[in-house]
Amino acid sequence: MNDRTEVARRAPLRADAQRNRERLLSAALQLLAESNRQLAMEAVARRAGVSIATLYRHFPTREALFLTIYRHEMQELGRWADELAARLSSSEALAQWLMKMGRYASTRPGMAEAFRAALIDGEQALMEDAYSETTEALGRLLERAAAAGAIRSDIGADDLLLALCGVWELPDTPAGRQQADRVVGLLLDGLRTDTS
């Protein structure tokens, strides 16, 4: 991890700095929701009403911003996994979560590139923090479905996410979404036990 990213991750934030960070994250999420274009750092700062220097104090690289967005959204998906588990069968909860995860990256242009750049640029710890949110949520769904006998018990969250990575290269188009759904369906078929 580079020195600037390490400082940004570990330094406790004053109340005004925390508000700026939250405004920047909110602005980035709004811009991503409004457009399929690449996320521009200047546009994020402008939308948040802060200087570009303030943005770079909180997110020293574009990758750091993307990984923070990813971690935030994986926390949301983690909460959604628990909501699904509370109201659906274990296999249906897993299927719905995987379908949403399968389509996630195509709606976040630049995310896959941010992951690759984070690994190259030495931001491994930031990447691992973000990735752990995903594996924990998926792990809970897999454990529940395996305990119910609906799926195999020898496949872990890391295995399934690795298999899912290919759909992250698909475009956010009707054809791309259909292909993502087919791939997730194929993965689910491979997980099911003979009796399910």
pLDDT tens-digit profile of 86-97? 999 999 999 999
Q: Do domains 1-60 and 62-196 have the same CATH topology?
A: no
Cβ atoms 108, 32 nearer than 8 A: yes
Is 3.40.50.300 the CATH number for 62-196? no
With a pLDDT cut of 90, the percent of the chain lying above it is 44
- Res. 32: pLDDT tops 90: no
pLDDT tens-digit profile of 133-157? 889 999 999 999 999 999 999 999 9
- Res. 120: pLDDT tops 60: yes
- Res. 168: pLDDT tops 80: no
pLDDT at 41 (0 to 100):
92
How much is the mean pLDDT over the chain? 83
| End-to-end alpha carbon distance in the chain | 45
In CATH terms, the superfamily for domain 1-60 is Homeodomain-like (1.10.10.60)
Pick from 70, 77, 73: nearest CA to 113: 70
Can you give the residue ranges of every domain in the chain?
Answer: 1-60, 62-196
d(CA 184, CA 138): 14
Residue 6, CA distances (Å) to 59, 122, 126, 142, 144 in order: 11, 10, 9, 33, 36
Which amino acid, one-letter code, is at 112? Answer: A
Residue 89, CA distances (Å) to 82, 148, 174, 195 in order: 12, 9, 28, 16
- Res. 123: pLDDT tops 70: no
pLDDT tens-digit profile of 40-54? 899 999 999 999 999
Q: Which of the residue ranges 90-94, 104-108, 159-163 has the most confident prediction, judged by mean pLDDT?
A: 90-94
